[in-house]
Amino acid sequence: MEEPIIRITGLTKHFGGGENEVAALEDINIEIRRGEIFGVIGLSGAGKSTLVRCINLLERPTAGSVVVDGKEMTALGPKELRQARKSIGMIFQGFNLLMQRTALDNICFPLELAGKGRKEAVARARELLEVVDLASKEKAYPAQLSGGQKQRIAIARTLAMDPRVLLCDEATSALDPKTTRDILRLIQDINKRLGITVVVITHEMKVIEEICSRVAILDHGSLAETGTVEEVFANPRSEAGRRLVYPDGVPYEVLRQEAACARVIRVAFNGGTAYQPLIASLAIDCGVKANILGADTRNIDGRAFGTMLLGLPEDEAQAAKALAYIRSQKDITVEEVPDYHE
Amino acid sequence: MSENLIELLISWGVDARKAASQVEYLAGATVPFAIWETVYTTVLSTLFAYIIGLPLGIILVTGEREGIRPLPPALMKILNTVVNLLRSVPFLILMVCVKPISRFILGTSIGTVASIVPLTLAAAPFVARVVESSLREMDRGVIEASQSMGCSPWQIVTKVMLPECRPSLITGFTTATITILSYGAMAGTIGGGGLGAMALLRGYGRQETAVLYVAVIFLVILVQIIQSIGTAVAVKTDRRIQHTQTKRRKGT
Ligand SMILES: Nc1ncnc2c1ncn2[C@@H]1O[C@H](COP(=O)(O)OP(=O)(O)OP(=O)(O)O)[C@@H](O)[C@H]1O
Ligand SMILES: [Mg+2]
């Protein structure tokens, strides 16, 4: 198979030291293929920004390796690193344009860095303004542009570097839904037409659904799962994946299918025995293995309160046995969860 | 004309002889010359103070641990301490202290030109702090964006930080110039020239109130001019507020 354009191995990043050390990333392994749009999703504080910033080494990893386009980024000296960064574009939630330069001059900036003459730079910048559909705003300053327009200029500015990879850190999070869609379409277009590999960081499922081919779910600094968007969204395997795909709780039908059980019951604890002993004694006394599909219980002074969803085996006799056993317990009520169709 | 002035002063209760000598002094070439001395002392001292203070201010920002080009913490500590020490010595005392340096550089420690050396040295740490505080307003995200484009620290300073902070740097420059102007006026007491010497030595020293007021009025005018130009340039060149400006213009 083709060598991935970005290969992240054992990436670990800790901030601070001593007592207030924060483990922002822990042993991350990701491979991003040439030409794909790869999404990284996770809740706030999951370490998404830290992860992308480790790709172009804005953040130096504590451990692990980051290979971009065949170069081990962590091994580069300052000068080589600057050179390598020129083929990795990055756009941000806050746009980060130069406020004292016009739209055109913002796009000229990386060209100036590359030592291009003014005439050549302006000509190229004008082309890129066309690409992002903002030719009329050439002389405008960022303060005169809307958020969506600013992001377009920022995109044109990174394109001026002729990058192989485009990193987008919450690039649409400051924009309204319509503008978000337009910007995503532009990114998709760039990916298709110019063959630039895109890494999209976001906390919005919509963004991933819209443009990504594969996705990684980040949870508290660890990689919860990776896969194609269809796979992960249809069947999230990790706890974090479920929380993202089903923010309002997992639908019963999904639970039931997964657990391969015919019946789902809701057990309510009203201050009796805690749930672990119940599951254990179910197995020991009745020989019934129940699946915990979800639980929202609290232990107060060794007594359990709350509810739990249990999946019972297909076998009718066993299920009946289990139900009878649970019903016989003190301070526990049981009800069957009817088919999940409203 | 001058007779009328003398009469006016006398009518205010000024001694006739003193009134005549003051008007004679003010009518002569001494006042324009004092203005000229003040202007060039201020301009040159500000220039030299920035030659030292601007790089120093930049280093104070970029050399930090979190800066774009961290320097050894010990070095940063020394720089900060030196700047603070120099800033905490009252200016007049500092000027007296650096007189020997003035003598070393120029061969003399007396006179208008000689006062430029202590002025420069006294103002440089102040300038460094002014520059530092302007550069600290810089949006970190923009610096990161330039780093992600492969900017070297030098390019970040010259192409990003200084141009992006231009309005604030100009405002700071205005403040620094005015401060140096007033420092220069105090230098009149230790052998400097200009409007300050005129106000202090003649106006205050000889109790020539008319001379004192004239000197003060010209100092005020100079400060006003510097401030107005500084503010106008800072506002005019700030591209962040153009938006609201054009809007306001349309609105009215
Ligand atoms: N410079 C830093 N110093 C100390 N801790 C940091 C630093 N940057 C990030 N962290 C910590 O690392 C963790 C991950 O932060 P990160 O910014 O990568 O999260 P994120 O997933 O991008 O969140 P968000 O969606 O809010 O942007 C957080 O706990 C954060 O507090
Ligand atoms: Mg983030």
Q: Which two tokens stand for residue B239?
A: 């591209």
Closest CA to A96 of A171, A190, A187: A171
Lay out the sheet containing A222-228: strands in order across: A88-92, A165-169, A197-202, A37-41, A214-219, A222-228
Q: Flag whether residue A86 sits within 8 Å of chain B, measured between CB atoms.
A: yes
Q: State residue A252's pLDDT score.
A: 66
Mean pLDDT, to the nearest integer, of B240-249? 55
* A98–chain B Cβ distance below 8 A for any pair: yes
The answer, yes or no, to whether residue B250 has pLDDT greater than 50, is no
Q: Are A86 and B150 in contact (CB under 8 A)?
A: yes
Q: Which DSSP string corresponds to A74-114?
A: GG--HHHHHHHHTTEEEEETT----TTS-HHHHHHHHHHHT
- pLDDT tens string A105-129: 999 999 999 999 999 999 999 999 9
- A60 CA from centroid of ligand 1 (Å): 14
d(CA A334, CA A241): 29
Closest approach of A154 to chain B, Cα-based (Å): 10
Say if residues B157 and B168 touch (Cβ distance below 8 Å): no
Which residue's C-alpha comes closest to atom 28 of ligand 1?
Answer: A45
Residues B157-207 have pLDDT tens digits of 999 999 999 999 999 999 999 999 998 888 887 778 899 888 888 888 888
Weakest mean pLDDT among A89-98, B54-63, B105-114: B105-114
Asked if A97 contacts A150 with a C-beta cutoff of 8 angstroms, the reply is yes
Cβ contact B242–A85 (<8 Å): no
Mean pLDDT, residues A15-19 taken together: 86
Is A83 in Cβ contact with B139 (below 8 Å)?
A: no
Q: Hey, is the C-beta of A106 within 8 angstroms of any chain B C-beta?
A: no
Ligand 1 in contact with A41 (CB < 6 A)? no
Closest in A82, A90, A94 to B152, CB measured: A82
Residue whose tokens read 């962040």: B240
Q: What pTM, to 2 d.p., does this model score?
A: 0.83
Q: Which two tokens stand for residue B37?
A: 């001395």
Which residues hold their Cβ within 5 A of ligand 2, which is an ion?
A 49
Mutation target for B interface from A98, A105, A139: give the one with most B CBs within 10 A: A98
Report the distance separating Cα A239 and Cα B191, nearest Å. 80
- Are B114 and B106 in contact by the 8 Å Cβ rule? The answer is yes
Which residues in chain B are contacts of A102 at CB distance < 8 A? 239
Of the listed ligands, the closest to the CA of A44 is 1
B21-44: pLDDT as tens digits: 888 888 888 899 999 999 999 999
Average pLDDT over residues B130-150: 96
In the predicted model, is pLDDT for residue A341 greater than 60? no
DSSP one-letter string for B77-145? HHHHHHHHHHHHS-HHHHHHHTHHHHHHHHS-SSSTTTTHHHHHHHHHHHHHHHHHHHHTTS-HHHHHH
Judging contacts by C-beta atoms under 8 Å, the chain B residues touching residue A56 are 148
Stated length of chain A: 342
From B145, B149, B164, residue closest to A100, measured CB to CB:
B164
ipTM score of complex: 0.88
